[in-house]
Structure 1
Amino acid sequence: MTSDAAPVTTETPAPDRDRRRYLIASGVALWGAQLAVVAVPLTAVTELSVDARGTALLTATTAVAFMVLGLPVGAWLDRVRRRPVMITADLVRAATLATVPFADWLDALTFTHLWLVVAVNGIATVFFDLGTQSHLKDLAPADQLVRMNGRLATLTQTALICAPPLAGWAAGILTPAVVLAVTSAGYLWSATWLSRLRTPEPARARSAERRHIASDIRDGVVFVWRQPVLLTVLGSGCLVNFGIAAVTAVLPVYALDDLGWSPAQLGLYLGAGGVGGLAGAMTAERVARRLGVGPSLLVIGLVLCPVAALLPMTGSLVPGPIAALAWSLVLYKVGFDSVLMMSFRQAVTPSYLLGRVNGTMRVLLTGAVALGAGCAGAAAGVFGTSGSIIVAAVALGLAWVPVAVSPVSRMVALDGQS
């Protein structure tokens, strides 16, 4: 396999103020993305009278962008400085989103216009998210990766919990288009904070001869395949993503039709999961420090096994409040993993390969989401929605296996100490 020339790096540690600025920029962008998740379909429904097929198309467009572009964008990000790419992505998202309220004000908004905005934003988000995951290692030394990822995961879970209801409330008082205008301004704010970072970014490696992008993509895929830690992270993450996607794909029908819940009860159930995810992100560093990073992943995975078994019994043997607690513990695993799994990935991957590795992992993890949703739909057609929940519970219950059979289970620190 042809390898890149040794990368040129700078060893100057990033000051704390740059890490704070980075967290602010990332947090604002995360909130913007979650506000848009609600405001875009609301705009489609309220302003354009779009049906469920149209809103589904808008939702799927962003996921398709990651599936198609994750690998080449990850490879390209290892050739360039990542910070300017992230700033450009923020500016693109701000500019495109701003066209929606402007067109709405002129009474000229169309579904095609809205879809193009979602598509361009989805592409820009691929560049921003992969750049964010890769650039963090340039700012945080190895002994601070878990802490920084914990703070990022806390911001993510907070946005997931608070931003959607806030967007819905604001859209009801104002209009969804106004929420998108505020989101556009948020992306500008994120770009401003990123531009204020003063830590020099390491120069990326340049090959002696020009390599095709496919060769760089292959390097990332091969690195993941040959790295036991990354295979463990990928295997466990795919099982969790598969299970979560399988549940959420049928949950509205399962809860409202099969269990007879009201929308408010379903909202409380989902809210409990959000709280669990936030708790997982906030406590990951403390638990990992007490048990060791590898053993903590194994313990949390083993606890998830009996908890996941409660999900298919919701309503019949397990009352709603207990089921909500179980779902909260399932999402605790998601928040916990979002900190430690990313820290593992960053710790074992050289900075000049991070873009390719993050692209490879993101494509495969997103593929697990699509596969989980597809399998849930197929299982529901044959066995009913309860069959889909059983399939999801099996996947979630097996998430500990890749960790148990790998060296990760014995790692007490990110540097590989056993």
Structure 2
Amino acid sequence: MTRSFSLPSKGAREDETTLFRHRDFRLLLSGAAASQIGTQVTLVALPLVAVLGLKASAFETGLLTAAETAAFLLVGLPAGAWVDRMRRLPVLISTDAVRALVMASVPLAAVTGTLTMAQLYLVALVTGVATVFFDVAHQSYLPALLPKDRLVSGNGALETVHSCAQVAGPGLAGGLVQLVGAPLAILADAASYTVSALFLRRIRTVETSPAAGAERRSLRAEIGEGLTFVLRHPLLRMIALSTGTANFFSALLLSVQTVFLVRVLGLAPGAIGLTLSAAAAGGILGALAAGRIATGVGQARIIWLSTLVTGPFALLWPLAGTGPAAALFALGSAVVFFGAVVYNIAQVSFRQTLCPPRLLGRMNATMRFLAWGAMPLGALTGGLLAQSFGARTAVWVCAVGFLSVPLPLLLSPLRGLRDLPSGTADR
């Protein structure tokens, strides 16, 4: 079956209006909004628990970021095969419940005086495993909820929610940390996962059983099919390599970001929250503008052009200083986030349209394994660089590294295309 990929044009606004009349999509979007706000709070609060509360070193902070992302290497591939064997909605609800319980253990331990770095590592690792299953199931569930001609609009709406959370979440986190302390601020994340699960439980759309009419094969064979599908496709292979490069350096930045902002730029928790919120505003603009930009410059061209144009602004990160010069960090992040969101909307929608439904979980898991598996390596690299040469040097390495992100795409068939080709997907 031939399936073509296209981004919204004149009818985009009408499609979005119809999309938001879809009850179950509204519930999915509401759940995403709740959990994303809480997640953004934790991205600020959890490193602050380590840095301010437990006096963690730069390497220990990097190790904490590595623990959060290690699950993509540990269970990334089998997660896709398991998700393809199950209905996706129950997976989403269960993983939300697990993350809520695990996050709630942090403020409980802090109140009782038993919180340690070992517990933070375990919390980060367990939450990461649950997030792998949630993310693979989430991306694989959307095509069951929406027709293929609404996937770009649906992904755009989800990216907008994510970007809005990136704006509101850090500011909320900074205020909560200053008001009640970092450990208690993490309660917001536990509550958000609970609210998300409650929204998801109200969805009425019934998925077709993945096992219906299909012969169950070994886990190894099913994982291999997903790997083969991605690695043999010339566009997916290069998209995975480019995304993996971006994620490696993003994790490097995340691992040293709190140390850099607190100990080098001298920012208080509230100021850190505002800095990260201002940076994330670029993501909202990217989500809103992605369709129009792609229509103007081309659906294939925008995938590599978005990273090529915005990547150099990462050089503003290490140039940031104390006082007003700290705004350079926010400005650089805003532009880089803009490009990243435009890139993600285009490439994720293309992947969902190209892939046959029976392979969606394994394709998404393979892409996550290849692209997100680089994150723990980046986090460890960042921690080691900051410990050995200082946080600013680590940020310089990250910024220069971002310049290499578009290279795999420029060496791929994408460079010669304006629009993405049709994909042949078997059902």
> So what's the TM-score if we normalise by structure 1?
0.80
Partners of 2:65 and 2:301 in 1: how far apart? 37
- Corresponding residue to 1:51 among 51, 56, 60: 56
Partners of 1:381 and 1:101 in 2: how far apart? 28
Matched residue, 2:28? 22
Q: Deviations over 1:159-199 (max 9, x none)?
A: 22321331231233234454333432322221111111112
Partners of 1:411 and 1:20 in 2: how far apart? 33
Q: Deviations over 1:212-242 (max 9, x none)?
A: 2111111111111012221132122123223
**Matching of residue 263 in structure 1 with residue 267 in structure 2:** yes
- Corresponding residue to 2:308 among 296, 302, 309: 302
The alpha carbon displacement at 1:19 in A equals: 0.9
- Corresponding residue to 1:164 among 166, 170, 179: 170
Matched residue, 2:246? 240
- Partner of 1:236, secondary structure, is helix
CA 1:142–1:131: 2 relative to 1, 3 Å: same
Partners of 1:231 and 1:302 in 2: how far apart? 18
**Matching of residue 406 in structure 1 with residue 412 in structure 2:** yes
Q: Deviations over 1:94-137 (max 9, x none)?
A: 233334445555x2644355554443322222211211121112
CA 1:255–1:152: 2 relative to 1, 3 Å: same
Aligned length: 398
More deviation in 321-330 or 224-233? Answer: 321-330
Matched residue, 2:219? 213
- Corresponding residue to 1:230 among 215, 232, 236: 236
Partners of 1:320 and 1:110 in 2: how far apart? 32
CA contact (8 A) 1:304 1:333 kept: yes
1:16-415 to 2 correspondences below 5 Å: 16-42=22-48, 49=54, 51-52=56-57, 56-102=62-108, 107=112, 109-111=114-116, 115-205=121-211, 210-247=216-253, 261-263=265-267, 270-304=276-310, 307=313, 325-373=331-379, 391-409=397-415, 410-412=417-419, 415=422
Partners of 1:60 and 1:406 in 2: how far apart? 30
Partners of 1:381 and 1:95 in 2: how far apart? 33
Structure 1 residue identity aligned to 2:56: D
CA 1:38–1:203: 2 relative to 1, 3 Å: same
Gaps of 5+ in 2: 1-18
Structure 2 residue identity aligned to 1:357: M
Partners of 1:411 and 1:378 in 2: how far apart? 41
> So what's the TM-score if we normalise by structure 2?
0.78
The alpha carbon displacement at 1:153 in A equals: 1.4
The alpha carbon displacement at 1:297 in A equals: 2.2
CA RMSD of aligned residues (A): 3.7
CA 1:382–1:58: 2 relative to 1, 3 Å: closer
**Which of 1 and 2 has higher RCO (CA within 8 Å, sep 6+)?**
2
More deviation in 363-372 or 260-269? Answer: 260-269
CA contact (8 A) 2:45 2:183 kept: yes
The alpha carbon displacement at 1:269 in A equals: 6.1
The alpha carbon displacement at 1:391 in A equals: 4.9
CA 1:96–1:270: 2 relative to 1, 3 Å: closer
